[in-house]
Chain A
Amino acid sequence: MAIKTKDFVSYSDALKAFSSGLKEPEWMLEMRLSALEQIDKLELPVIERLRYNRWPLWQVPNLTGAPAAKTVDPFEFVDDKADAARVIQTGNDTVIETLPESLKEKGVIFTDLHTALREHPDLVKEAYMAKAIKPESNKITAFHAAFMNSGLFLYVPKNLEIEEPLEAIFIQNSLVEDAFVKHVLIYADTHSNFSYVEKFLTKGDEKNAANIAVEVITKPGAQVKFSAVDQLGENSTVYFNRKGYTHRDSSIDWALGVMNTGNVVCDFDTDLVGEGSATDLKAVGISSGRQTQVIDSNVVNYGNNTEGNIFQHGVILDRATLTFNGIGHIVKGAKGADAQQESRVLMLSDKARGDANPILLIQENEVTAGHAASVGRVDPEEMYYLMSRGIEQSEAERLVIRGFLGKVISAIPMKSMRDDLVQTIERKLTSR
């Protein structure tokens, strides 16, 4: 799809009306309009081993503010749970929003992004596309900043530890034609400590684009455990950007299940800015059918003694493509930094295409770094061992694969989410 400059700039008035209808603060509208002007000047982000300039990612969302002609029933996908910390959105609407009273009293904010922009504009402004993802970075982020049409804001105040994971479920409404430009903003204040789990799904078969941005900002000493299971639909073409930004001595642990069925770029980044901060990024993926998924994990060590760890395991079926890029980047001056990575791809079909591509960019001497990468098939010794106990070949293969993907499963703190990921994996493997 060709991109024409005048197409985007011509949305300026519609954007103004959209922003005003949502009673957005002035700075938000300014950010939108400034980003709108830049979309055409900026380049697409470079994703190694992928050409996606022809992907239909540039669908402009419906800006009239009118409700969707068809709505999604969330209970088709989720159970009713009382008193959980939970936000569920279908399309652009927040349909369930619950937060235990005890957390509200302590100052936790867990709400629709539009609501947060009205009720806590200054707090949102501190973090929204200001630290992690910047509107002017590239064509994708500029498009996102201009056309963001719904989202979620989570703020956890200083020194607060939350035991139970906070949960968000986003169901893309593809019963109608509309772009899904979702933004999740997680702002972890100093020394807070919590887990967050999210799930992305699609209802319906309309061919829609999605430009999703998730930002996690950890202030000094904050610890965030972030888990996700992505299951966007076959007809959704997606650019999925998750990015962390760490202040001193804070950490973000990511456990990501990439289980979409359409073409998806997963751009998972963390900027380790503060001294002594760390990230552990674990991602597993399955590609099947004729889809392409590229998981591009990029950790940049800026601060001294920062630790970045990337672990990616994936399975490819049918005629699908799955590529892992692991980028460990230590900038000049980041003394004592550590960048480690492992990417492994298991091919279960002769027609599948897989790639594990480690990239280390090291500009400082006093550092440690390492990588491992492989593309291969199921180990025949392992298969023999399992089968020698009576387990049938298909079952043995399933067990080996589940084991191969197991590290992310065990890192997810919520049982329902773990079960969901296991079931999704089984479903993909048995549908061959």
Chain B
Amino acid sequence: MAVLEIKNLHVSIEDKEILKGVDLKMQTGEIHAIMGPNGTGKSTLSAAIMGHPSYEVTEGEVLLDGENVLEMEVDERARAGLFLAVQYPSEIAGITNAEFMRAAINSRREEDDKMGVMDFITKLDEKMAVLDMPEEMAERYLNEGFSGGEKKRNEILQLMMIEPTFAILDEIDSGLDIDALQVVSTGVNAMRGEGFGSLIITHYQRLLNYITPDVVHIMMDGRVVKTGGAELAKQLEAEGYKGLMEELGLDIEIEED
């Protein structure tokens, strides 16, 4: 069992403090959801965990099995077991999707244990079938000219190919229609198991109808303000963030959309 623990995390972007002390602990076998209004720091949390160069951690720790990942380079964090699926991945011409994923898988393997082309293709075909992706997408350039939905499927495909210990999904549901949402959820649910944990960041409860979380955290104004079970998401859907704020006695400006 692996454990991911976020302790008193403070993060700034261009000297503006976005995260003001986040605490969160999860382990493999669990799926956690983070919900919260826009502009509350959910995406900042995911980017800071992964090590995006624009985010500055000013205080706190992110521990993966007791090791502080904040001291690692981005690629080291990934190889240690972290994965981040994003809404707007980079488009990189000239590198095929397949080539990129094979490079990613082999970056985790020893020189004498690289994944061969045949094994790779077999696995790729299998995962692409789960996600209902046409074969030709493997040979297209990485995200280049992909639609929003294709990019998100492609993020989940990478997740299934790389099989990380902990996956953070950052608003992977936004802009998806119901069919695409089901496909993406099928992919994430297929990963569910003892050796895998996931932290799902979402604005809406909708995704959680397909992927039932074990734990739900509500984030507001750079902090986790409430933690509960799957029913917390349902309560939030019914009462809205305003209702929750009243219950918690919080007075925070939030962006309604």
Interface residues of A, Cβ cutoff 8 Å to B: 379-382, 384-393, 395-396, 399-400, 402-407, 409
Which B residues lie within 8 Å of A391 (CB)? 75, 78, 103-104, 107
**A contact patch SS:** helix
For chain B, the count of residues having a C-beta within 8 Å of the partner chain is 29
Question: Can you spell out 11 A-B residue pairs with CB atoms less than 8 angstroms apart?
Answer: A386-B100, A387-B78, A389-B83, A389-B104, A390-B104, A399-B92, A399-B99, A400-B95, A406-B141, A407-B93, A407-B94
Which B residues lie within 8 Å of A392 (CB)? 75, 107
B90 interface residue per 8 A CB criterion:
yes
Which B residues lie within 8 Å of A379 (CB)? 90
* Given A384-B53, A399-B100, A389-B162 contact (CB < 8 Å): yes
A396 near B75 with CB under 8 A, answer yes
Which B residues lie within 8 Å of A396 (CB)? 75
The smallest C-beta distance from B199 to any residue of chain A, in angstroms, reads 15
B73 near A389 with CB under 8 A, answer no
B94 near A404 with CB under 8 A, answer yes
Of B84, B89, B92, B101, which is within 8 A of A403 by CB? B92
B108 interface residue per 8 A CB criterion:
yes
B95 near A395 with CB under 8 A, answer no
* Given A395-B103, A396-B75, A390-B94 contact (CB < 8 Å): no
B107 near A395 with CB under 8 A, answer yes
Most buried by B among A386, A400, A404: A386
Which A residues lie within 8 Å of B52 (CB)? 384
B53 near A390 with CB under 8 A, answer no
B73 near A403 with CB under 8 A, answer no
Top 9 closest pairs, chain A to chain B, by CB = A406-B94, A403-B94, A390-B78, A389-B104, A385-B90, A387-B75, A387-B74, A390-B107, A403-B95
Which A residues lie within 8 Å of B53 (CB)? 380, 384
Interface string of B76-96 (1 = CB under 8 A from A): 011100011000011011110
Interface string of B218-249 (1 = CB under 8 A from A): 00000000000000000000000000000000
Q: For residue A408, which residue of chain B has the nearest CB?
A: B94
The smallest C-beta distance from A410 to any residue of chain B, in angstroms, reads 8
> In the bound complex, what is the Cα–Cα distance between A384 and B74 (angstroms)?
7
B158 interface residue per 8 A CB criterion:
yes
B93 near A406 with CB under 8 A, answer yes
The smallest C-beta distance from A196 to any residue of chain B, in angstroms, reads 24
